[in-house]
Amino acid sequence: MKDPNQTLNQVVRAIRSVIERNIEMNILNKVDSTSLIVLSNFCCEVNTNYVVMNILNCIEAIDLKKSEYTTYNEKYNLYSFLPHTTYLDANVCRNYDIFRAAKSSISIYVS
């Protein structure tokens, strides 16, 4: 049986590699990333496979005519959408691989 931590590390390395390759090829833009060094308290191992990413693409991606929301914060122009009722506008999102929606900036969308 595989060690779940080893499997997770392999997945994280693979995702990081794809993201770095896309940034280098200028396919994935407006992403700020910083490497982290994590020291495990349980096994005293240093792990450098983690990355913190700040997604800077913030676009008007949500289709407000189709989506359902519970509250609207006028001060910040933000909505609280109901689960499974948020619809994206495909035409707006077409040129972005990873982004935040301007009306709901907590979520990150990946194509």
Q: How far is the C-alpha of 111 from the C-alpha of 102, rounded, in Å?
A: 17
Say whether pLDDT at 37 is over 60.
no
Residue 5 φ/ψ, nearest 5 degrees: -65, -35
Q: Is residue 50 located within the same domain as residue 9?
A: yes
Q: Is residue 29 located within the same domain as residue 69?
A: no
Other CB atoms within 10 A of residue 105 CB:
13
Q: Is residue 45 located within the same domain as residue 73?
A: no
Q: What does the pLDDT look like over 3-16, one tens digit per residue?
A: 666 676 776 677 67
Mean pLDDT computed over 87-92: 93
Buried b (16+ CB within 10 A) or exposed e, 13-41: eeebeebeeeeeeeebeebeeeeeeeeee
Average pLDDT, the chain: 75
pLDDT confidence band for 90 (50 / 70 / 90): very high
The reported pLDDT for the residue numbered 2 is 63
Q: Is residue 44 located within the same domain as residue 83?
A: no
Say whether pLDDT at 102 is over 70.
yes
Q: How far is the C-alpha of 39 from the C-alpha of 79, rounded, in Å?
A: 37
Number of domains present in the structure of the chain: 2
The reported pLDDT for the residue numbered 28 is 56
Mean pLDDT computed over 61-81: 87
Instruction: Look at the pTM and tell me if it is higher than 0.95.
Output: no
Q: Is residue 39 located within the same domain as residue 71?
A: no
Q: Is residue 74 located within the same domain as residue 90?
A: yes
Residue 69, domain extent: 58-110
